Structure 1
Amino acid sequence: MGNGDAYPPAKRPEDLSRFVVERLNASDVDGLVALYEPDAVLALADGSMAVGASQIRAAYEQMVGGLPVMEPGEQQPTLVSSELALMSSRLRNGTVTAEVARRQADGTWLWILDQPMIAR
């Protein structure tokens, strides 16, 4: 399942990281949710998880209002095996992220697992 026609698709897994920064800075909750598969999992800062599009939407609705401007982190090399990709970035504040994306039937990529703060 792709992310619809409203947003450019992630043609490479690395596109997802760029899109999340752009959409966080624009407070674009719909655009953020479009980066995930419908049953994806997003780890939250309090240790809980948002599972599925509606919970991910609710999490981003709470998040975007108080966020400072995000800057792209240093993308680490992406590991791709067949239809899965493991990505990681080191943000400017020292936080390390980890994400898993899956190639969709149309060749685009969506996140299935997102851990925005694995280490600091």
Structure 2
Amino acid sequence: MTEPATSPDDLGRFFVARANARDVEGLVALYEPDGVFATPAGPAAGADQLRAAFEQMLADGPTFTPGQPQPTLYAGELALTSTRLDDGSVTAEVARRQPDGTWRWVLDQPRFVAPPAS
């Protein structure tokens, strides 16, 4: 069984660990069933599209490194998480507290701010 996120701050750490382990199902479990992940080809919405997007993303065996998590913003059952990555890009995600108290992402934009031009 995949460990659930008990805080929205767990989600980014779990994403890196599961992506590096090539755990596609573990990645899908970080999102609500109708969650949306932005990809260069367009949004992947729902578990089936998320699964396909993560399989494609991991196909070449990339290595993910943790970035610098930014302070989480809370509004009731929602949380805005964000991470500054080593290349200077910034992620932005919206998480929702689930009825069992765990957290899952609803929306994930992994390149909210693009890396600086070289």
TM beyond 0.5: yes
Report if aligned partners of 1:42, 1:113 keep a CA contact under 8 Å in 2: yes
Residues 24-80 of structure 1 show CA distances to partners (whole Å, capped at 9, x for unaligned) of 10111000000000001110023x100101000000011112242111010000001
Match of 2:14 in 1: 19
In structure 2, stretches of 5+ residues that fail to align are none
In 2, Cα distance between equivalents of 1:97 and 1:67: 21
Match of 1:63 in 2: 57
CA distance 1:67–1:93, shift in 2 (3 Å): farther
How many pairs were matched up? 114
In 2, Cα distance between equivalents of 1:101 and 1:9: 13
Compute the TM-score of the two structures, normalised by the length of structure 2.
Answer: 0.93
Q: 1:84 aligns with which of 78, 81, 95?
A: 78
In structure 1, stretches of 5+ residues that fail to align are 1-5
CA RMSD of aligned residues (A): 0.8
Percent identity of paired positions between Structure 1 and Structure 2? 59
1:115 Cα deviation (Å)?
0.3
